[in-house]
């Protein structure tokens, strides 16, 4: 894949929203009306994440949640969203008629659907569109004075990440709550274990491993697997966004950011550099875009510890999903089901396992209602950048350094504009050939 500076769609979109955003900026503040028990929600992105988890987890977390507006790029996705949302609410035995309040005039489709949702009378928005669009949608929501739940990852390249960090600072100035979809930060076994690690339970951490291996996700959106004649290349990419680097960031960024986020949390820092490798050997069919199916990386952290990462999306590959760290006084093991410490201060979590995906929304709603803003922008941005660091190193065969990527990299994955329209890059990265920009 040839990395190049481009005139981004998101930059063009931002130009068109700057005037409106500036008008809002002058008087915007916390938008939740004091004394009200209702939180009016707008859903931006009506795929599986938005209709099957996002608004459903939000509604389960707290009373008084009302979904009042939603939007998507594609008409067929928007048309199926109401039935999907209602069915998923019923599965959790939630009161559908009290929660689903979307009127036809507040259902929006097209490339400006996100802005139309934001412009509705909503207190907060949930961002579940493909990751490439997160910087644009996040900026628009913050400029409009809306509280934001932003799914992970928050960008796919350094250009987008810097935009997210700027928007996060603006959200702080406005007193807005920003909660990220790195849900394991609210998983009680991890909370208690990592608290003990920070208190010195295993001494100084000297090394560790992050492993997430599993299947190829060949059945994901299988009904849109093959390109139809009426779809443009851009629309096909967006429908199959998981398998295109410019939209997802590749699976190390889109999915394994969860695991790398846990490691940053454990280490209390982001890495300084990364040397990685990867490739595309088992999932090579055209319908799987241009992403890799395996990565391996070594991350160097400020205390000198080197953390190894291994990730796959290959069918029949042995499944693992865990994090381990070694210290001068013992070791710790954390997966997405439990956690324990071994050594002189051995400890094993024995408590309950509340749903962290619901808890993150409960914390968000509580912060809005009580005027105590939460802002997780930098945390999720640094974890996203950790994953981008690994992908960029693997794609190019070059060691990638944190400060250089954050301050100087001009990598921009959004399609370039030509006389014939937007042209997405469909090439596959080749280490030693692909340049580190």
User: Using alpha carbons only, what angle is made at residue 208 by residues 193 and 159, rounded to the nearest 5 degrees?
Assistant: 95
> What per-residue string of b and e applies to 298-323 under the rule 16 or more CB within 10 Å gives b?
bbbbeeebebebebbbeeeeeeebbb
**From CA 297, how far away is CA 394, in angstroms rounded?**
8
Is residue 292 within 8 Å of 280, Cβ to Cβ?
yes
Q: Among residues 142, 134, 140, which one has the least CA distance to residue 173?
A: 142
Scan for tokens 């599993």, then name that residue: 214
pLDDT in tens, the chain (437 residues): 433 333 344 444 333 333 333 333 333 344 444 446 899 999 999 999 999 999 999 999 999 999 999 999 999 999 999 999 999 999 999 999 999 999 999 999 999 999 999 999 999 999 999 999 999 999 999 999 999 999 999 999 999 999 999 999 999 999 999 999 999 999 999 999 999 999 999 999 999 999 999 999 999 999 999 999 999 999 999 999 999 999 999 999 999 999 999 999 999 999 999 999 999 999 999 999 999 999 999 999 999 999 999 999 999 999 999 999 999 999 999 999 999 999 999 999 999 999 999 999 999 999 999 999 999 999 999 999 999 999 999 999 999 999 999 999 999 999 987 666 788 889 999 999 999 98
Give 167-171 contacts, CB < 8 A, sequence gap 24+.
167/135, 167/138, 167/139, 167/142, 167/377, 168/142, 168/375, 168/377, 168/378, 168/381, 169/377, 170/25, 170/139, 170/142, 170/143, 171/142, 171/373, 171/375, 171/377
Q: What is the pLDDT of residue 422?
A: 81
| Tokens 């982001």, residue located | 270
Query: How far is the C-alpha of 34 from the C-alpha of 64, rounded, in Å?
Result: 14
Q: What is the pLDDT of residue 420?
A: 63
357 touches 378 (CB < 8 A): no
- State both tokens at 209: 């491993």
Instruction: Tell me if residue 323 falls in helix, strand or coil.
Output: strand
Angle of CA points 108, 111, 117, to nearest 5°: 40
Q: What is the DSSP letter of 73?
A: S
How many whole angstroms separate alpha carbon 55 and alpha carbon 101? 12
Task: Pick the closest to residue 297 from 349, 258, 256 (CA basis).
Answer: 256
Domains of the chain: 9-184+359-376 (3.40.50.720), 189-355+385-423 (3.30.360.10)
Confirm if 298 and 276 have CB atoms less than 8 A apart.
yes
**E strand map for 38-153:** 39-44, 65-72, 107-109, 124-127, 147-150
Strands (E), 129-236: 147-150, 178-180, 205-213
Map residue 383 onto helix, strand or coil. Answer: helix
Return d(Cα 313, Cα 329) in angstroms, integer. 34
CA distances in angstroms from 84 to 53, 56, 59, 224, listed in the order given: 11, 10, 14, 17
Helix (H, G, I), strand (E, B) or coil at 70: strand
Cα Rg of the chain (Å, integer): 21
Count Cβ atoms below 10 Å from residue 87 Cβ, excluding itself.
13
Contact between 127 and 138 under an 8 Å Cβ cutoff? The reply is: yes
| Predicted local confidence at residue 416, as pLDDT | 83
pLDDT at 3 (0 to 100) = 35
DSSP state of 51: I
Q: Are 217 and 283 in contact (CB under 8 A)?
A: no
Secondary structure percentages of the chain, helix, strand, coil, to 5: 40, 20, 40
Q: Specify the residue for token string 């004649």.
A: 229
Whole-angstrom distance, CA of residue 231 vs CA of residue 219 = 20
* pLDDT at residue number 30: 43
Q: Which residues contact 120 (CB under 8 A, 6 or more apart)?
A: 42, 68, 69, 106
C-alpha 7/C-alpha 294 separation (Å) is 30
């Amino acid at each position: 894949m040839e990395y190049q500076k481009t005139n981004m769609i998101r930059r063009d979109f931002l130009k068109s929203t700057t005037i409106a955003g500036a008008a809002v900026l002058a008087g915007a503040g916390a938008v939740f009306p004091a004394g009200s028990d209702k939180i009016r929600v707008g859903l931006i992105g009506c795929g599986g994440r938005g209709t099957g988890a996002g608004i459903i987890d939000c509604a389960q977390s707290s009373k008084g949640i009302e979904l009042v507006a939603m939007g998507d790029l594609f008409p067929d996705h928007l048309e199926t969203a109401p039935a999907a949302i209602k069915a998923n609410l019923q599965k959790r035995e939630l009161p559908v008629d009290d929660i689903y309040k979307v009127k036809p005039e507040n259902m929006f489709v097209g490339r400006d659907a996100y802005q139309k949702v934001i412009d509705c009378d909503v207190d907060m928005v949930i961002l579940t569109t493909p990751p490439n669009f997160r910087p644009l949608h996040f900026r628009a929501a913050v400029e409009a004075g809306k509280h934001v739940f932003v799914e992970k990852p928050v960008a796919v390249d350094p250009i987008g990440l810097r935009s997210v960090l700027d928007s996060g600072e603006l959200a702080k100035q406005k007193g807005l709550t920003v909660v990220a979809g790195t849900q394991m930060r609210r998983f009680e076994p991890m909370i208690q274990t990592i608290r003990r690690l920070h208190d010195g339970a295993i001494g100084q951490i000297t090394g560790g491993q992050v492993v997430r291996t599993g299947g190829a996700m060949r059945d994901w959106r299988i009904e849109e697997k093959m390109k139809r004649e009426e779809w443009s290349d851009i629309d096909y990419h967006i429908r199959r966004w998981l398998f295109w680097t410019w939209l997802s960031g590749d699976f190390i960024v889109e999915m394994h950011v969860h695991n790398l986020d846990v490691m940053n949390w454990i280490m209390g820092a982001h890495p300084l550099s990364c040397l990685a490798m990867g490739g595309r050997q088992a999932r090579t069919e055209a319908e799987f875009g241009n992403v890799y199916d395996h990565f391996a990386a070594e991350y160097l952290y400020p205390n000198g510890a080197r953390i190894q990462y291994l990730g796959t999306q290959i069918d029949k590959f042995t499944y693992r999903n865990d994090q381990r760290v070694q210290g001068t006084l013992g070791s710790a093991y954390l997966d997405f089901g439990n956690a324990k410490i071994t050594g002189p201060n051995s400890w094993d979590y024995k408590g309950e396992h509340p749903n962290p995906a619901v808890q993150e929304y409960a914390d968000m709603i509580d912060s809005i209602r009580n005027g105590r803003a939460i802002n997780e922008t930098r945390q999720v941005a640094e974890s996203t950048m950790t994953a981008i660091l690994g992908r960029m190193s693997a794609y190019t065969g070059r060691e990638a350094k944190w400060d250089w990527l954050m301050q100087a990299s001009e990598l921009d994955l959004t399609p370039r504009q030509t006389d014939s329209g937007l042209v997405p890059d469909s090439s596959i990265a080749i280490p030693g050939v692909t340049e580190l920009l």
